[in-house]
Structure 1
Amino acid sequence: MRISRRTTHSDLRSLEAAAAVARSGFACIFSSSDEYERALITERRARGRYSARQGSWTMTALILLALSVTGAVIYWV
């Protein structure tokens, strides 16, 4: 049983190409975690994740809480 040299060489090149493709799949486009976080926040801002209306909801809840506490104090006095 004789293996041709041409087949072995092409198989070796095929394996090397497959290994190169597999290694490139693990590459990361960010050089550091800070760069990743900055890109993530920029993307979320672009989608409207950090909008001003969330702050207005918080302010409304605080005002309602203050009014209810004031009402309770007036009721008990």
Structure 2
Amino acid sequence: MKFLAASAFAIGLSLAAMTASQAMPLAPLDQAASADTIRVAGGCGPGWHRGPYGGCRPMYNCPPGWHSGPFGRHCFRNW
């Protein structure tokens, strides 16, 4: 009987705590983007992209049949 009362009290307390918490309040959907915000690709800026380890790398366009090498500085022929 004690276990049933204790578990009922714990469940009731947790349900009461869940209804009172507001960890993530809802934001209105009609907010427009701020004019002072500059959009960039992945935080690196125009002409750059994120590499495999999260660093910023320049975007080089190699011709067909070639690929960019380490750090995107040179173009190497595909084998």
TM over 0.5, yes or no?
no
Choose between structure 1 and 2 for higher RCO, CA contacts under 8 A separated by at least 6 residues: 2
More strand by share: 2
**Rg bigger for which structure?**
1
More helix by share: 1
TM-score by length of 2: 0.30
TM-score by length of 1: 0.31
